[in-house]
Amino acid sequence: IWFWKNKAAKAVDMNAKGFGTLKAQEHQDVKAKGVYSNGTWKVVFSRDLSTGHAEEDVQITPGQFISIAFAVWDGRKDGAGDLVE
């Protein structure tokens, strides 16, 4: 899980093995940069395709299919739980 929050100004590389098990990885390989302009956020995540930490990260091979999912949380809309500081 690649997590970014504007206040922290950095990405966090995390793993979870079920509900309530989310934790930061030992090796932080992901970088992120976010820019807000004209009412729109743009965030770019980057990481080497191969990290050397196969136990923590998927190792990406060009041309090979991998599953991916995205989630976005709008902090202005009555968030609760772990998503609120």
Domain extents in the chain:
2-75
Provide the whole-model pTM.
Answer: 0.77
Between CA 51 and CA 64 the distance in angstroms is 16
83: pLDDT strictly greater than 60: no
Alpha carbon separation from 14 to 27, 29, 37, 67 (Å, rounded): 9, 10, 28, 17
What pLDDT score does 81 carry?
Answer: 58
8 A C-beta contact, residue 32 and residue 45:
yes
Find the mean pLDDT for residues 59-84.
79
